[in-house]
Structure 1
Amino acid sequence: MTDAIAQLRSLRASIDNIDAALIFMLAERFRCTKQVGVLKAEHGMPASDPLREEQQLARLRSLAHDADLDPEFAEKWFNFVVAEVIRHHEAAADER
């Protein structure tokens, strides 16, 4: 049992590190997408780019498959993130 507890703690520590890395990566992603939103607003471009979203979704589904991650989960994650990005872009446009 002691070995199992030690292994559990080790795995949980790894999970905690991965979660922290994901948060910082998402923050960096949103810093970039906010800049995209400002650029789009400055030039009167639409907040959403359906062609780009379609291409990214196909790319991420393929990456998920290669990484042995459920592509459906990757799609749900992407759609969640894109909805937030579009909300930021619309807010940037409203500020102009």
Structure 2
Amino acid sequence: MTTHNAAGQLASYRKTIDNLDAALLHILAERFRCTEQIGRLKAEQAMPATDSEREQRQMDRLRTVADELGLSQHFVENLMTLIVTTVVERHKEIARRG
């Protein structure tokens, strides 16, 4: 492969990555819209912001999905911990605001 061909292939890969990154952000935005509704419901019903049993079931399920996809369980755990922590903080904020 010549340098010119390699540069073109690299640009193509990077374009794909850019598109996938945008898609990930759209998916996360939709996920957060859904969890926002959950936060409101929990606040209205005076339910706790966290559900440790649900979180553990989800993490177990996602570890299995990670394995099936050939992804690092460590990576998936870190990613989901960040997402869940963000959601729980938002749920607490919603509850404080009433």
Same-fold status (TM-score > 0.5): yes
**Residues in 2 aligned to 1:18 and 1:68: alpha-carbon distance in whole angstroms:** 18
TM score, norm. by length of structure 1: 0.99
- Deviation of residue 26 (structure 1)? 0.3
Structure 1: which 5+ residue stretches go unaligned?
Answer: none
Q: Verify: 1:29 aligned to 2:19, yes or no.
A: no
Moved over 2 A (4+): none
Q: How many residues align?
A: 96
Any idea what the Cα deviations from partners look like across 1:37-96, whole Å, max 9, x if unmatched?
000000010000000000000011110110011011000000000000000100110011
Q: What amino acid maps onto 2:67 in structure 1? A: H
TM score, norm. by length of structure 2: 0.97
- Cα RMSD, aligned residues only: 0.4
Determine the structure 2 residue equivalent to 1:81: 83
**Residues in 2 aligned to 1:24 and 1:12: alpha-carbon distance in whole angstroms:** 18
**Residues in 1 aligned to 2:67 and 2:19: alpha-carbon distance in whole angstroms:** 24
**Residues in 2 aligned to 1:71 and 1:3: alpha-carbon distance in whole angstroms:** 35
Sequence identity, in percent?
46
